[in-house]
Amino acid sequence: MTTTPDDATMTQALIDEAKQLFREHKLQLSEEKFTQVLVMGHRVADAHFGLGVVCLEEGRVSDSRAHFSAVLAERPEDANAFYYLGVVAQKQSDPSLATVMYERALSLNPSHQSARAELATLRARPTVSSQTAVPDATRREVADGPLQGGRYGVYEYLLQDASPLSRQTISLIDSLRTDRHPRFIAHSRIVSFLAFLLLLIGAIAVAMTEILTLTVCTHSDCSWTYGLPPEVWSELSLGIALWLVLILFNYLEVRTTHIVLDRGRLQVTRGILRRSLVNVELWRVHDIKLRQTFLNRLTGDGTVAFYIEQGSRRESDEFVLTGLASGRRLPEIYQQLLNLVFLLRSNPVVKGIIY
């Protein structure tokens, strides 16, 4: 949605008014103003954040959690949203989830004093573990799910755990569902081919300049020659044909690559003549990196590297994926994947599988 200067001014005025009403403890009026911002569609994350704080102040903990989760959907690296999710978890008597949220807030903003203080308070308390029974309907949902007949995965175990930490993890997993082919332009070879084409055009332009200055003299007459000799045309045609074949091969390679991100599992199928399937369980991933070359930054693309644990060994395998998302979405999905890996490896249900 395009934001005009008038829209931006009006949105800022509404946000300032909502904050002032909150400071005056006029919570209902403040909520109305933040809702107006949300309806306008500008600065949605700020509107959700304000609504989350208002709901928390009114004691509507579930609504507050929903709003702060919506903030993370817009701004996955928002340390304050993680902090308030920690506050919400404490109010819901889930210190383990609160600890995870505070730790994530500190990893994003090491100078977050409120998160540091709450985390220190939590760690000073004796830990009490409790398990909440899961309704039979949820268990039937697991048994009758799309993976019926397949192996029982981490996603299914998380569905059976009613803790807020598992629910938060499930929500993030579902929001990251992807079923697509990689972006064609994201492959570096395509960029190299385009660069080669530009160099070829430049070389032709230089050659044409030289050719047009040549003269062919027959006896006493001299005449200018315009155009390329037949042998030059044949070589040029061969080069263009070779370039087109390479482009077609790369296109087929991209179209025969299929990326599926579902239920906490990344599956990549690729190959033209021979098919290969790579299966990455995200709970085995201990680090993710986003790499962007200069040309990648111009196109908004890049590669995402997953570092996967190999049992009890300290070594890890690297799996590199290109074209996971469109330009502007790639950094956002990268942050969401980092958050998901952090939540998965912090969850006691998953730790029981890893260790």
Bigger pLDDT: 302 vs 132: 302
DSSP class of 220: T
The continuous run of DSSP H or E covering 221 comes out as: strand 221-224
Tokens of 255: 């179209």
Tell whether the model's pLDDT for residue 215 goes beyond 80.
no
Beta bridge partner(s), residue 308:
285, 317
3-state secondary structure of 2: coil
Question: Given the DSSP bridges, would you call strands 276-281 and 265-270 parallel, antiparallel or unpaired?
Answer: antiparallel
- The 10s digit of each residue's pLDDT in 83-122 is 999 998 888 888 888 888 899 899 989 999 889 888 888 8
| Rounded Cα–Cα distance for residues 61 and 91 (Å) | 7
Beta bridge partner(s), residue 280:
266
Contact between 342 and 351 under an 8 Å Cβ cutoff? The reply is no
- The 10s digit of each residue's pLDDT in 136-185 is 433 333 333 333 333 446 777 787 777 777 888 888 888 888 888 887 77
| Rounded Cα–Cα distance for residues 130 and 128 (Å) | 7
The residues, ordered by sequence, that sit 6+ positions from 2 with a Cβ below 8 Å of its Cβ are none
Domain boundaries, the chain: 131-180+258-355, 188-255
- The 10s digit of each residue's pLDDT in 33-48 is 888 888 887 788 898 8
The residues, ordered by sequence, that sit 6+ positions from 158 with a Cβ below 8 Å of its Cβ are 166, 169, 170, 173, 264, 347, 349, 350
> Tokens 């005449």 appear where?
223
- The 10s digit of each residue's pLDDT in 258-315 is 898 888 889 898 888 888 888 888 888 888 998 887 777 777 778 899 998 765 555 6
Cα-Cα-Cα-Cα torsion 317, 323, 327, 329, nearest 10 degrees, comes to -70
Tell whether the model's pLDDT for residue 29 goes beyond 80.
yes
Task: Provide the pLDDT confidence category of residue 209 given band limits of 50, 70 and 90.
Answer: low
Q: What are the distances in angstroms from CA 223 to CA 168, 185, 208, 212?
A: 80, 47, 17, 11
Tell whether the model's pLDDT for residue 333 goes beyond 80.
yes
CATH 2.30.29.30 matches 131-180+258-355: yes
Tell whether the model's pLDDT for residue 335 goes beyond 70.
yes
- The 10s digit of each residue's pLDDT in 50-73 is 999 999 888 888 888 888 888 888
- The 10s digit of each residue's pLDDT in 250-265 is 788 888 888 988 888 8
Q: Nearest to residue 157, comparing CAs of 165, 2, 106? A: 165
Beta-strand ranges (E) seen in 43-177 are: none
Tokens of 210: 């030289």
